[in-house]
């Protein structure tokens, strides 16, 4: 039988390979050897190198220099010397450069797609239709931000020289996500691509030269973990951006603690893919294909945990199994391939081990009938896999597999779906499938995830922020919120060290009467304020509080870890506050301002006593405090987020959501004003706070207990624990139920908070021991505070009939 | 890249039964229909954006090149309902079309493809009822069935007795397939019993002739309507469901087709009957034909890549396919005047 007749019988697709000759020629031009890209030039790859393989064939395709501390240092110097000129360019001039990069990426689109496929193993369909177009899109979008930076972010300046470390799963796209906003903000960059996949970044470096990007603005140092560690340790960076595993993210958090470097982390995930009974099940099946069988499942936001409503679960699984039979695993350069090669043998081993453990554990595994034929083939191939009857406690449901493996379980009610969805340390993304708008939206609001796709999955756009909640990291990439990661308030660059009082002494009874302590009126010991009630410190200890002249005034509770625990519990259960409308919260805050003003004289007297301020100064601080409360009452119903239209018939919401429980360590300066300046934006945005006032001058804050009571601030919204700042801050930083921690104290305390926050990767905001003028509206209030009091949730909402 | 074996093909190295190789020519058990059961479709709500996304990526996920493409285009010819439905149709025009149906591809091209012994012809010829006798005569001995539109095509707003009589007439004149239109009002008002009864009676009127139900999807507007109407038509005994009359503002589209083939799948699961699918209207390019074949293979499987379960309603499509096949054979881009008119 001849070929045509044979095909007419089988009706198979046949091979459809993408041409790779141009990429081969490019590799040959470089002799297969690549150095770093520093100051606009490639270095010679002498010294230590590592090899790069095509994971679909095992073929060696290149050898790349491995960066040393010295290389990193050279690159940082190149970036630092380019910074002055680059950051001083006008917005329009920088925009022209970014626009040129976008155009150049488009001009070389197919070359980059083929190169990425050969280096990473992902199918050409994805690099051609998704990765590379999104890279261009990201540069176009950020050309706009370069143009608009000064107008849209007045008072902000570029962060400085940025160190960026990217993963191997979307090599060029992750480069774009990091580099485009940095350059738009006016920063210069040293980038470390992943050692499995360095080639497209090197090609991009050539494109930078071709597009006329000034030398030193963009630099590359290649290498693995050691090179990465050298980057993170380098003091020349003002900002570190990392995308990768939670494990490494944690190390970087600790390593950068106290250095003053800005940090954004985009880490792992175990994102729920929630299928309600009223979903379009066939659509949801394709959603799974795009969720977990996209990019071999090597996607941090992959919908790897299917939660399916019990009544439709078997039907849904049946459809999934049928669909899996039709997936095609194989040569990533073939245009009919759905699932290409996993990035490297080590990754195959890791996936295999996790799948085998799942089978041993008793979950039922389904792989397509043809799966067996993959084993024994050269190249890193893994079949699409579906686990059903997975229990929420199973490692299959808890741990990231980073392969084409879906773990499915059922739920009964929408509430249970949300509970299961949030039953994870991660909080990167969620995909929700329901034809009922109420169900879908309610779930979207309640899942703890930075990105939510309704009836869709794995959609990305330069205008829409991407980033996680919880241990999936912090910071956003894309959109206005992403620009904040590369900007810093101008005044902060010149801030002076704060005067920080030494830690409190151990609360032992004084050997002699304290100066000025007797004779006294009726003894008054100030208690803590937890859950709307005054509470004695758990320790049973108090410490003396002195006035400005050193006379003992009274005693305050010496709070300890259990007081913090109780305060967090109170804050945790006061969920109603976060659910209130902004208007309702504003009403409470206006009432608070009213009552504070009513007792203004009392507070002024307290400030004079505590700080020795003149009557006029004290009055001024009280007036500023009342004004600040009103300022955030004003914002309470206005910080609404944004709506974007990244695709036709798509609304993407950038929704600011509170962290829920924020720990706040207040500074010594302006004890009333600084306390309110921090607590107010937090609660105005719907957070509940656990705050420690200035240890030496806690009384102004303690006097607020009664004001809070009389102002209808619900108990548990503001919890105040007096005591030693750093002792209490350490407890808060280590508390896993606190999602964000603001610390204003010493440089050492700042370092400690950042270091300890690595436990649950809470979002931190520390002063690094720098002073802030709380009276100055530029420093003491404004968008910076509101931005820090929220995390942006991006909700993608397609519609159409 | 030194890839010796072709990994993309390993996905297909499964047992023959799964690839659908064996049952290709097994006779289709004719759909007897079932009692109207709205529970099977009433809760269905098709998500438009997701359907569009799937439809858009069908052809970016799959590619058919070179010999495979040529073979697939040959299969497309075999699935064409070569159609003329115009007010100026004459017996001469219909005879010419029938001749083309018998001989759709130039002999030298057939030979170059190695198909000389293959008896290549289109799936059917589709005409108005008055042209059935001419077409039957012209196709005698060819094995090509005559399909007739009926039931007050294209609007379907003739009284039911006349519509049924039209079917009986066409069947009586030798039409083997009847392409009926439904009362759109029944769908738009959600009157499923009325739609069911209408199609049921039409099916009875067809007797041995196969019933192809045109849903006129461009006038049903929503994909959910399309899905529900598809299910009702199949429950009432349709042998094929068909997208469009070719006279609507929007005719066959991939998203609409996706929803219809998913309904076919659901009906198969519920009853075991395999129902055919026919997109029609606006399909003019060879690459469109490939797109629909990919849709059938992906969503329904190998069985639906044969004329007994898949037809393409088209008039000008064949011309483009002929040119593409000539390009495959000669490596030169072809022109329309090199291929015999229909």
pLDDT, tens digit, 9 for 90 and up, residues B167-181: 999 999 999 999 999
Q: Do A331 and B47 touch (CB under 8 A)?
A: no
Mention every residue, 6+ apart, whose C-beta is less than 8 A from residue A376.
Answer: none
Check B179, B239, B303, B320 and give the catalytic one.
Answer: B179
Q: Do B114 and A8 touch (CB under 8 A)?
A: no
Which residues of chain B neighbour A14 with C-beta distances below 8 Å?
9, 64-69
Token pair 């505590």: residue: A610
Token pair 């706040």: residue: A664
Question: Torsions phi, psi of B220, nearest 5?
Answer: -85, -20
Q: Which of A11, A54, A336 sits opposite B63 (nearest CB)?
A: A336
Nearest CA in chain B to A433: B47
Q: Is A453 helix (H, G, I), strand (E, B) or coil?
A: strand
Q: Which of B7, B64, B262 sits opposite A14 (nearest CB)?
A: B64
Q: Do B10 and A14 touch (CB under 8 A)?
A: no
- Per-residue model confidence (pLDDT) at position B17: 40
Q: Do B11 and A10 touch (CB under 8 A)?
A: no
- CB A496 within 8 Å of CB A508: no
Nearest CA in chain B to A9: B21
Which residues of chain B neighbour A287 with C-beta distances below 8 Å?
50
Instruction: Answer yes or no: is pLDDT of B133 > 80.
Output: yes
- Chain B nearest-CA distance from A50, in A, is 21
Asked if A501 has any chain B CB less than 8 Å from its own CB, the reply is no
Question: Nearest CA to B208 among B243, B174, B231?
Answer: B174
Active site residue B242: yes
Asked if A648 has any chain B CB less than 8 Å from its own CB, the reply is no
Nearest CA in chain B to A383: B11
Q: What is the pLDDT of residues A322-362, one digit of tens each?
A: 999 999 999 999 999 999 999 999 999 999 999 999 999 99
Check B81, B278, B303, B320 and give the catalytic one.
Answer: B278
Asked if A57 has any chain B CB less than 8 Å from its own CB, the reply is yes
Interface-testing mutation among A5, A9, A13, A457, with chain B (most B C-beta atoms within 10 A): A13
Asked if B114 has any chain A CB less than 8 Å from its own CB, the reply is yes
Q: Do A336 and B61 touch (CB under 8 A)?
A: yes
Active site residue B278: yes
Instruction: Answer yes or no: is pLDDT of B5 > 60.
Output: no
> Can you name the residues that pair with A656 across neighbouring β-strands?
A792
Interface-testing mutation among B6, B8, B253, with chain A (most A C-beta atoms within 10 A): B8
Which residues of chain A neighbour B69 with C-beta distances below 8 Å?
14
Q: Do A13 and B66 touch (CB under 8 A)?
A: no
Q: Which of B47, B61, B114 sits opposite A435 (nearest CB)?
A: B47
Interface-testing mutation among B2, B3, B11, B263, with chain A (most A C-beta atoms within 10 A): B11
Instruction: State the average pLDDT over residues A749-777.
Output: 97
Q: Do B2 and A125 touch (CB under 8 A)?
A: no
- CB A658 within 8 Å of CB A738: no
Which residues of chain A neighbour B52 with C-beta distances below 8 Å?
800
Structure pTM?
Answer: 0.96
Q: Is B278 helix (H, G, I), strand (E, B) or coil?
A: strand
Instruction: State the average pLDDT over residues B117-137.
Output: 97
Question: Torsions phi, psi of B331, nearest 5?
Answer: 80, 0
Q: Do A14 and B222 touch (CB under 8 A)?
A: no
- Measured distance CA(B257)–CA(B254) in Å, rounded: 5
Asked if A650 has any chain B CB less than 8 Å from its own CB, the reply is yes
Half-sphere exposure of A82 (CA within 13 A, CB side): 24
Mention every residue, 6+ apart, whose C-beta is less than 8 A from residue A598.
Answer: none
Cβ-Cβ pairs closer than 8 A, A with B, add up to 158
- Measured distance CA(B166)–CA(B153) in Å, rounded: 10
Q: Do A801 and B48 touch (CB under 8 A)?
A: yes
- Per-residue model confidence (pLDDT) at position B10: 37
Asked if B74 has any chain A CB less than 8 Å from its own CB, the reply is yes
- Per-residue model confidence (pLDDT) at position A15: 97
Cα A655–chain centre separation = 15
Q: How far is CA A734 from CA A578, A739, B58, in A?
A: 23, 10, 50
- Per-residue model confidence (pLDDT) at position A523: 67
Q: Which of A15, A280, A333 sits opposite B46 (nearest CB)?
A: A280
Instruction: Answer yes or no: is pLDDT of B2 > 90.
Output: no
Nearest CA in chain A to B68: A14
Nearest CA in chain A to B304: A11
Q: Do B50 and A59 touch (CB under 8 A)?
A: no
Asked if B119 has any chain A CB less than 8 Å from its own CB, the reply is no
Instruction: Answer yes or no: is pLDDT of A596 > 80.
Output: yes
Q: Which of B2, B50, B114 sits opposite A280 (nearest CB)?
A: B50
Question: Torsions phi, psi of A280, nearest 5?
Answer: -75, 100
Q: Do B64 and A13 touch (CB under 8 A)?
A: yes
Mention every residue, 6+ apart, whose C-beta is less than 8 A from residue B115.
Answer: A4, A5, B74
Asked if A9 has any chain B CB less than 8 Å from its own CB, the reply is yes
Q: How far is CA A431 from CA A57, A292, A465, A751, A771, in A?
A: 34, 11, 16, 37, 43
Q: What is the pLDDT of residues B18-38, one digit of tens each?
A: 433 433 456 789 999 999 999
Percent of chain A with pLDDT over 90: 96
- CB A93 within 8 Å of CB A255: no
- CB A362 within 8 Å of CB A390: no
Q: What is the pLDDT of residues A156-205, one digit of tens each?
A: 999 999 999 999 999 999 999 999 999 999 999 999 999 999 999 999 99
Instruction: Name the E strands within A113-247.
Output: 156-158, 161-165, 188-192, 218-220, 239-243
Mention every residue, 6+ apart, whose C-beta is less than 8 A from residue A675.
Answer: A666, A691, A693, A694, A700, A701, A704
- CB A799 within 8 Å of CB A651: yes
Q: Which of B3, B14, B49 sits opposite A57 (nearest CB)?
A: B3
Q: Do A335 and B49 touch (CB under 8 A)?
A: no
A 109-148 → B contacts, CB under 8 A:
118, 125, 129
Asked if A549 has any chain B CB less than 8 Å from its own CB, the reply is no
Mention every residue, 6+ apart, whose C-beta is less than 8 A from residue B92.
Answer: none
Question: Nearest CA to A119 among A8, A239, A34?
Answer: A34
Active site residue B297: no
Give, to the nearest 10 degrees, the angle between helix A246-256 and helix A747-756.
170
Which residue has better confidence, A418 or A515? Answer: A418
Q: Which residues of A are catalytic?
A: 266, 300
At A520, is the pLDDT very low, low, confident or very high (cuts 50, 70, 90)? Answer: low
Interface-testing mutation among A1, A2, A3, A4, with chain B (most B C-beta atoms within 10 A): A4
Instruction: Answer yes or no: is pLDDT of B9 > 50.
Output: no
Mention every residue, 6+ apart, whose C-beta is less than 8 A from residue A563.
Answer: A528, A530, A535, A537, A538, A539, A557, A721, A723
Instruction: State the average pLDDT over residues A527-546.
Output: 96
- If one counts every other C-beta atom within 10 angstroms of the C-beta of residue A565, the result is 15
The first and second tokens of residue B222, run together, are 């929503």
Asked if B19 has any chain A CB less than 8 Å from its own CB, the reply is yes
Q: Is A308 helix (H, G, I), strand (E, B) or coil?
A: strand
Q: Is A109 helix (H, G, I), strand (E, B) or coil?
A: helix
Instruction: State the average pLDDT over residues A136-165.
Output: 98
Q: What is the pLDDT of residues B144-158, one digit of tens each?
A: 999 999 999 999 999
Q: What is the DSSP string of A466-522?
A: B--EETTEE--BSHHHHHGGGEEEGGGGGPPBP--PPPPPP-PPPSSPPTT-SS-SS
Token pair 């990105």: residue: A451
Instruction: Answer yes or no: is pLDDT of B280 > 80.
Output: yes
Q: What is the DSSP string of A341-393?
A: --S-HHHHHHHHHHHHHHHHHT-EEE--TTGGGGTTSSS-----EEEES--TT
Asked if B249 has any chain A CB less than 8 Å from its own CB, the reply is no
Instruction: State the average pLDDT over residues A97-125.
Output: 98
- Per-residue model confidence (pLDDT) at position B342: 86
Which residues of chain A neighbour B53 with C-beta distances below 8 Å?
286, 290, 456
- Chain A nearest-CA distance from B88, in A, is 37
Q: Is A406 helix (H, G, I), strand (E, B) or coil?
A: strand
What element of type H or E holds A688?
Answer: strand A688-692
- Chain B nearest-CA distance from A322, in A, is 10
Asked if A8 has any chain B CB less than 8 Å from its own CB, the reply is yes
ipTM: 0.95
> Can you name the residues that pair with A643 across neighbouring β-strands?
A653
Which contacts (CB < 8 Å, 24+ apart) does range B130-138 have?
B131/B84, B131/B89, B131/B91, B131/B94, B132/B170, B132/B173, B132/B174, B132/B175, B133/B173, B133/B174, B134/B91, B134/B94, B134/B95, B134/B98, B135/B94, B135/B97, B135/B98, B136/B173, B136/B174, B136/B175, B138/B94, B138/B95, B138/B98, B138/B99
- Per-residue model confidence (pLDDT) at position B26: 61
- If one counts every other C-beta atom within 10 angstroms of the C-beta of residue A412, the result is 10
What is the sign, positive or negative, of the torsion defined by CA atoms of A593, A596, A598, A601?
A: negative
CA distance between the termini of chain B: 46
Asked if A324 has any chain B CB less than 8 Å from its own CB, the reply is no
- CB A286 within 8 Å of CB A324: no
Cα A101–chain centre separation = 26
């Amino acid at each position: 039988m001849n070929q045509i007749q044979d095909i007419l019988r089988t009706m198979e697709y046949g091979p459809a390979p993408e041409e790779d000759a141009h990429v081969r020629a490019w590799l040959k031009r470089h002799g297969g050897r690549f150095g770093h890209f520093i100051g606009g030039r490639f270095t010679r790859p002498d010294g230590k190198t590592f090899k790069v393989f095509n994971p679909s064939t095992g073929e060696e395709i290149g050898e790349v220099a491995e960066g040393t501390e010295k290389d990193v240092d050279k690159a940082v110097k190149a970036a630092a010397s380019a910074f002055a000129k680059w950051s001083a360019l006008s917005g329009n001039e920088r925009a022209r450069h970014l626009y040129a990069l976008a155009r150049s990426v488009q001009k070389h689109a197919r070359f980059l797609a083929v190169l990425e496929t050969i280096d990473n193993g992902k199918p050409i369909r994805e690099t051609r239709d998704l990765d590379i177009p999104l890279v261009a899109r990201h540069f176009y979008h950020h050309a706009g931000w370069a143009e608009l930076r000064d107008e849209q972010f007045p008072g902000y300046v570029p962060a400085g020289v940025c160190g960026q470390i990217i993963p191997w799963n979307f090599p060029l796209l992750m480069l774009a996500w990091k580099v485009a906003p940095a350059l738009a903000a006016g920063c210069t960059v040293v980038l470390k691509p992943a050692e499995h996949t360095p080639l497209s970044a090197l090609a991009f470096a050539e494109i930078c030269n071709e597009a006329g990007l000034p030398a030193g603005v963009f630099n590359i140092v290649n290498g693995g973990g050691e090179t990465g560690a050298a980057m993170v340790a380098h003091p020349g960076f003002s900002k570190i951006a990392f995308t990768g595993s939670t494990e490494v993210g944690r190390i970087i958090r600790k390593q950068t603690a106290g250095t003053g470097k800005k940090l954004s982390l985009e880490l792992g995930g175990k994102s729920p893919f929630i299928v309600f009974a009223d979903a379009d099940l066939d659509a949801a099946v394709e959603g799974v294909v795009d969720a977990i069988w996209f990019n071999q499942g090597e996607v941090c936001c992959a919908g790897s945990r299917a939660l399916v409503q019990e009544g439709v679960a078997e039907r849904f699984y049946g459809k999934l199994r049928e669909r899996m039979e039709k997936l095609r695993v194989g040569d990533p350069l073939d245009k009919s391939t759905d699932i290409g090669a996993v990035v490297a043998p080590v990754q195959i081993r890791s996936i295999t081990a996790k799948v085998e453990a799942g089978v041993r554990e008793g979950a039922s595994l389904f792989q397509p009938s043809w799966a067996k034929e993959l084993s024994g083939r050269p190249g890193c191939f893994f079949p699409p896999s579906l686990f059903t009857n997975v229990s929420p406690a199973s490692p299959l449901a808890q741990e990231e597999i980073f392969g084409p493996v879906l773990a499915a379980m059922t739920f009964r009610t929408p509430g249970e779906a949300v509970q299961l969805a949030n039953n994870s340390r991660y909080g990167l993304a969620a995909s929700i499938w329901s034809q009922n708008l109420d169900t879908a939206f309610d779930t979207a609001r309640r899942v703890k995830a930075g990105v939510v796709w309704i009836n869709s999955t794995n959609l990305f756009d330069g205008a829409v922020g991407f980033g996680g909640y919880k241990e999936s990291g912090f910071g956003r990439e894309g959109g206005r919120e992403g620009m904040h990661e590369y900007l810093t308030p101008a005044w902060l660059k010149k801030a002076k060290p704060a005067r920080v009082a030494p830690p409190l002494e151990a609360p032992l009874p004084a050997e002699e009467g304290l100066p000025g302590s007797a004779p006294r009126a009726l003894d008054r010991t100030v208690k803590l304020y937890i859950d709307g009630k005054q509470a004695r410190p758990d320790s049973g200890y108090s410490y003396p509080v002195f006035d400005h002249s050193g006379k003992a005034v009274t005693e305050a509770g010496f709070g300890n870890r259990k007081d913090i625990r109780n305060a967090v519990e109170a804050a945790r259960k006061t969920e109603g506050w976060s659910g209130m409308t902004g208007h309702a919260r504003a009403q409470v805050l206006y009432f608070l301002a009213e009552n504070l003003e009513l007792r203004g004289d009392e507070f002024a007297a307290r400030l004079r006593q505590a700080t020795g301020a003149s009557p006029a100064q004290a009055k001024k601080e009280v007036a500023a405090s009342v004004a600040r409360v009103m300022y955030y009452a004003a914002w309470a119903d206005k910080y609404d987020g944004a709506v974007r239209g990244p695709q036709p018939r798509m609304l993407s919401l950038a929704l600011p959501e509170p962290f829920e429980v924020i720990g706040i360590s207040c500074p010594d300066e302006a004890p009333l004003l600084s306390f309110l300046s921090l607590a107010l934006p937090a609660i105005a945005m719907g957070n509940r706070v656990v705050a420690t006032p200035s240890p030496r001058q806690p009384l102004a804050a303690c006097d607020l207990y009664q004001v809070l009571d009389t102002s209808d601030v619900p108990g548990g919204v503001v919890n105040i624990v007096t005591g030693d700042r750093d002792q209490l801050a350490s407890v808060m930083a280590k508390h896993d139920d606190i999602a964000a921690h603001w610390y204003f104290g010493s440089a050492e305390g700042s370092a400690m908070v950042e270091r300890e926050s690595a436990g649950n990767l809470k979002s931190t905001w520390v002063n690094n021991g720098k002073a802030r003028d709380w009276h100055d509206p530029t420093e003491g209030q404004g968008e910076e505070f509101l931005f820090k009091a929220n995390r942006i949730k991006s909700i993608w909402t397609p519609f159409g009939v | 890249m030194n890839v010796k074996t072709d990994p993309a093909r390993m996905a297909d190295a499964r047992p023959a039964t799964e690839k659908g190789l064996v049952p290709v020519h097994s006779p289709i058990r004719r759909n007897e229909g079932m009692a109207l059961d709205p529970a099977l479709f009433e809760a269905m709500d098709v998500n438009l954006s997701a359907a569009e996304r799937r439809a858009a990526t069908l052809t970016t996920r799959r590619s058919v090149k070179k010999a495979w493409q040529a073979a697939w285009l040959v299969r497309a010819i075999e699935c064409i309902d070569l159609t003329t439905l115009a007010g100026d149709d004459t017996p001469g025009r219909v005879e010419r079309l029938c001749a083309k149906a018998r001989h759709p591809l130039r002999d030298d091209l057939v030979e170059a493809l190695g198909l000389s012994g293959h008896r290549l012809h289109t799936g059917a010829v589709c005409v108005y009822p008055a042209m059935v006798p001419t077409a039957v005569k012209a196709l005698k001995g060819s094995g090509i069935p005559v399909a007739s539109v009926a039931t007050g095509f294209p609007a379907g707003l003739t009284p039911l007795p006349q519509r049924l009589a039209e079917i009986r007439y066409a069947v009586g004149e030798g039409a083997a397939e009847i392409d009926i239109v439904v009362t759109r009002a029944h769908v738009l008002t959600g009157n499923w019993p009325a739609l069911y009864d209408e199609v049921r009676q039409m099916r009875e009127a067809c007797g041995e002739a196969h019933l192809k139900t045109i849903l006129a999807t461009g006038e049903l507007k929503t994909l959910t309507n399309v899905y529900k109407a598809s299910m009702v038509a199949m429950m009432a005994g349709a042998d094929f469901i068909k997208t469009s009359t070719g006279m609507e503002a929007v005719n066959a589209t991939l998203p609409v087709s996706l929803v219809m083939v998913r309904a076919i799948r659901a009906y198969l699961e519920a009853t075991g009957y395999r129902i055919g699918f026919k997109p029609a209207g606006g399909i003019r390019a060879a690459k469109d034909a490939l797109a629909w074949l990919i849709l059938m293979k992906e969503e329904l499987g190998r069985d639906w890549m044969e004329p007994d379960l898949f037809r393409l309603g088209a008039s000008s499509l064949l011309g483009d396919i002929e040119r593409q096949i000539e390009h495959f054979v000669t490596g030169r881009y072809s022109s329309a005047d090199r291929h015999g008119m229909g």
